[in-house]
Amino acid sequence: MDMPLAQTLAALHASAFTGAARWSPPAFQAAIEDRSCFLLLDGPDADPGGFALGRTVADEAELLTLVVAKPARRQGKGVRLLARFEDAARSRTAQAAFLEVAADNMPARSLYGRCGWSEAGRRSGYYDGVDALVLRKDL
């Protein structure tokens, strides 16, 4: 994969996140090149309607970020991307998965709750003063 994809991902990510939570094109490029990471696109590389980026280490997976383009929200894409992430993590022998979500991100928290994720911890003030909830799901 090449830098234009990383730029596309960063632009889509910037449309959904603010401040320090936004990933840069070089951060996406590094993840794309990292063998422990895996990228799941919803749509073509040039114009994905969303994506999930995960990583596996030993028997654990981490959902690094999940984004659905604003016009494509509330159509089930987040649920499908999350299910694809879980399937990909299982295929990489992960037995449990983790993610972090801002405590005030109610749409994301609702999605994760509906999909069986539960709170496993909290990082105080992690996102520009907002707590991060650490969620876990057995795979």
CATH of region 3-138:
3.40.630.30
- Mind listing the pLDDT tens digit for each residue in 18-63? 777 789 999 999 999 999 999 999 987 667 889 999 999 999 999 9
Q: Please name which of 31, 13, 33, 15 lies closest in space to residue 23, comparing C-alpha atoms.
A: 13
Q: What is the pLDDT of residue 20?
A: 73
- Whether pTM exceeds 0.85: yes
Q: Tell me the C-alpha distance between 139 and 129, whole Å.
A: 31
The CA distances from residue 99 to 49, 54, 58, 74, in Å, are 21, 9, 16, 21
Instruction: Give the mean pLDDT of 70-87.
Output: 90
Q: What are the boundaries of each domain within the chain?
A: 3-138
Is residue 40 within 8 A of residue 68, CB to CB? The reply is no
